[in-house]
Copies of this chain bind each other. A is one copy, B any other.
Amino acid sequence: MECKKGAPVGVFDSGVGGLTVVREIIRQLPDENIVYFGDTARVPYGSKSPKTVIRFSEQIIRFLKTKQVKAIVIACNTASALALDTVRDKFDVPILGVVSPGARAAVAVTQKQKIGVVGTDATVRSGVYTQVIHRMDPQIQVIEKACPLFVPLVEEGFKEHVVTQEIIEYYLESLRATDIDAMILGCTHYPLLRSRIRAYMGEEIQIVNPAYETAADLKALLKEQNMDNDSTDASGSRYEFYVSDMAEKFRQFANTVMPFDVPETNVVNIEDF
């Protein structure tokens, strides 16, 4: 496996949300090279069917494999929820999702055995967070709530707008009325609303962002398979960004999330893969 140590990690999302996961991977694994793909031509995934999200994910994985990635992180909750099992069976590269790491973190912090999950329509409809949490501890009560407008609010720059507060209250009122003590942000866009969600839900509820645990899982996987990049070659650490559309808009958004200047972003015709 020695030859794979310097190979990049592939990370993908339906759009820009997965950059919050990349940011965490860079923090925890500063020596790894990363190839990111954002499916900006077909975003969002959260309102689409399992069959379609699986087909899109397979195309992206085929593209990432052309970049000789040594492992792949699905930094999108919807794709993790709907496609992870299928693509793991189909491809010969290790693939991690964000659902299990997020579930594990929430299981670790809940004292009352009651966890809330917020996510897209597709993620909540899949019930995968409940399944995964119950595999870890069948006694835990899981309450899932779809919040489909959070993604467009973030994407349209309404983060600070008064209507965002009202939509947060509209979606989360029923969750706040329960006695959950942990809540998973089950969509990679939602950490961008974290402080408002936290303020509404109250300090006694632990807000879980799966990005941290996902990066930790990746670190463990690379170490275990002796694929971690231990090169101190200065030319080693590189980040490449690919999208299926709107490269310049993506780059500008990425610059607000990443701790460095995001280089040129390349457009890929993902349907060809």
A255 at the interface (CB under 8 A from B): no
Contact-size category for A: 20 to 34
Known contacts A149-B152, A156-B148; decide if A47 and B246 are in contact (CB<8 Å): yes
Known contacts A41-B48, A48-B245, A156-B149; decide if A170 and B166 are in contact (CB<8 Å): no
Q: How far is the CA of A156 from the CA of B153 in the complex (A)?
A: 13
Asked if B244 and A52 make an inter-chain contact with CB atoms under 8 angstroms apart, the answer reads yes
Chain B residues near A149: list those with CB within 8 A. 152-153, 156, 158
- A 177-206 contacts with B by CB, 8 A: none
Q: Which residue of B40, B49, B153 contacts A246 across the interface (Cβ within 8 Å)?
A: B49
Q: How far is the CA of A155 from the CA of B42 in the complex (A)?
A: 17
A216 at the interface (CB under 8 A from B): no
Chain B residues near A136: list those with CB within 8 A. none
- A 114-153 contacts with B by CB, 8 A: 148-149, 152-153
Known contacts A52-B41, A52-B245; decide if A47 and B155 are in contact (CB<8 Å): yes
- A 235-256 contacts with B by CB, 8 A: 244-246
Binary interface encoding of chain A residues 22-56 relative to chain B, with 1 for a CB under 8 A from any of its CBs, else 0: 00000000000000000011110001110110010
Q: How far is the CA of A47 from the CA of B51 in the complex (A)?
A: 24
A167 at the interface (CB under 8 A from B): yes
Asked if A49 and B163 make an inter-chain contact with CB atoms under 8 angstroms apart, the answer reads no
A271 at the interface (CB under 8 A from B): yes
Q: Which residue from chain B places its CB closest to the CB of A40 in the assembled complex?
A: B48
Cβ distance A46 to chain B, nearest Cβ, rounded Å: 11
A90 at the interface (CB under 8 A from B): no
Cβ distance A16 to chain B, nearest Cβ, rounded Å: 11
Chain B residues near A170: list those with CB within 8 A. 161, 163
A1 at the interface (CB under 8 A from B): no
Interface residues of A (CB under 8 A from B): 40-43, 47-49, 51-52, 55, 148-149, 152-153, 155-156, 158, 161-163, 166-167, 170, 244-246, 269, 271
A41-B48, A41-B52, A148-B156 known, 7 other contacts, Cβ within 8 Å: A41-B42, A49-B246, A52-B244, A55-B269, A148-B152, A162-B166, A271-B271
